[in-house]
Structures are given as C-alpha cells and as structure tokens.
Amino acid sequence: DPENVFLAQLSDDLLETSVTVAKLWQEEFSVSENQKTNDLIFVQFDKEGVEHFAFLRIALRETLTHLGGELDNPIKLTQNNLPGFGTGADEALVINLKSRKYHLIEKRIKYNGAFLNYMSDNLLQVNPTISAKKSIKALEKTAQKVAESFNKDDFQFQSKVKSSIFKNLEENDELSPEKLADDLFDNNLTARLSFIDQVKEAIPEPVKFDEIDSSRQKKKFENQKLSLSNGIELIVPNNIYQDAESVEFIQNDNGTYSILIKNIEDIQNK
C-alpha cells in the first residue's frame, strides 16, 4: 500500500529513518510484559540494483564471562551481551523499496494476558502471508487429512508427499496446490478438488521462494527417512526412491512389507 504509514517514514537518509523507526517501534514494544534490553540494527542495501531497507531487533543476553584480571572471582554474570555467532535476530524486517514487498520475522508480545502481533498489526499495519515453513506444514497436514478420508494414508503416500514437495521446489521454486494435487491424487478427482479447496482456505496464495532461499526446505525433503518395525532405519535419496531399478517395496500376502535394494556395487560401514 503506497499510503502505508510505516513506509511513509522511510527516506534516503538512513540515520533519520533509523531514529524515526526506533521511536515508532519503542512506542509499540513498550507495552510488553516481558521487557528485555535490545539492540536495533538498521541497514540500507542494494540487491541486484534494487534498494532494500532492513530492520533487526536483537535481544541482549545475560552471560557468564571469564574475566582474566579478576583472580578472586574470575567468572561473573554480565548483562547486555550480544548473542553468539550463528544466532539469528529475534525479529527482522526486510523491505524491497521498489516493489514494496517485504519479509517479516515477528515474535508476539504479551499484554494484559493476551499475545499481540504488535509489529505487523500496529507498527507496520499489514496482514502478513503465512511463512513458507508453516505453509508447508499446512500442505502436509491437509494431504494427510484428505488421504485418510479415502483410506490412502500409508507410508507410501507420506513418501509421495515428500517427493512431490521436493520435485516442485526443485523445478519451480514454488508450491502450487493444483500441481501437488495432480501428483498426490492423480486418479481421484474428488480427492484432488478437496485437497485444492482445503489448501486454498488455509493458504490463499501459492508458496513462493522467489526472494527467499529455499535450500533449507529442499534439504529437508531431499531424502526419504524410513523407520522399520524391526529397528532398521533407511535414508533414501528421492531420485533413487522413485527408481524401481534401485529400490522396490513389496507388500506380502500376510500384510507385511519387504524392501528390495538392487544393483549395489559397494557397501561401506560408517
């Protein structure tokens, strides 16, 4: 929204913008019942020729510190320490200043016994879309629910869900309900339509990774991890899992399963 109050505060002067946004943030955050000391970081950067603005909140920690010059009491509890390397920001906002698209990591605050999305509702005055992580969980849950209603929710279907998500991320960097439905319920029109309707009700927009890194999600789905009732655990790459010349799942007459692994040239103990 070009008339958004928060966006109107952003200017080419980073210092001026930082002071203004910090004051606006403080007004909204100050009602939190669990106050912490925070560092606020403001960044202007260029990505592929497009200006971006970023705002990070980092909660400072209490840390035990070894003070080399203190012989009697060398270990003390010190206040207001930055988190260690590799620790993410507690909250973050990145805005594409050209398209006005944004990415938000938000933590709710507690006020009068209720939890508030203070940053999106009050500071930014926006209605964020569901995160990619939560969207994928919703897709998996919906697929399982629809499969259960048609008595199809077994380990093979669950593996099919993972394979379909991985394939769509690899090929398109997005997850479309229609494409997933075609993969998962290709021979059942009723199930396909039910899946699409339920997904769109929970996630109105397709899950896109056009401006965010999808490598973590791809890594999560690149392998099939199977735990067998006899204690054996298998990790099978998706490209091999789908190849009948490499692995075959056989359902025996007594209801048990056999797994046939084929064409193994070498076995190593790790």
- Extract the tokens encoding 185: 């319920």
Write the DSSP symbol of residue 244.
Answer: T
Size of the chain in residues:
270
Strand partners, 52: 45, 96
Closest CA to 176 of 196, 153, 146: 196
> For residue 121, what are the contacts with CB-CB under 8 A and spacing of at least 6?
none
Which token pair is 19?
A: 């002071």
Tens-level pLDDT at each residue, the chain (270 residues): 667 889 999 999 999 999 999 999 999 999 998 888 999 999 999 998 999 999 999 999 888 887 776 667 778 888 888 888 888 899 999 999 998 889 999 999 999 889 999 999 999 999 888 888 889 999 999 999 999 998 877 888 999 999 999 999 988 888 999 999 999 998 899 999 999 999 999 888 778 876 677 888 888 899 999 999 999 999 999 888 888 899 999 989 998 999 999 999 999 888
Determine the Cα–Cα distance for residues 182 and 91; give it in Å rounded to an integer.
37
Could you tell me the pTM of the whole model? 0.73
Nearest to 178 by CA among 194, 160, 165, 196: 196
Backbone torsion region of residue 122, taken as left when φ is above 0, otherwise alpha when ψ lies between -120 and 50, otherwise beta: alpha
End-to-end CA distance of the chain: 55
- Give the separation between CA 45 and CA 10, rounded to whole angstroms: 13
Strands (E), the chain: 38-47, 50-59, 61-66, 75-81, 91-96, 102-105, 109-111, 114-116, 174-175, 207-208, 223-227, 233-237, 247-251, 257-261
Distance separating alpha carbons of residues 50 and 96, to the nearest angstrom: 7
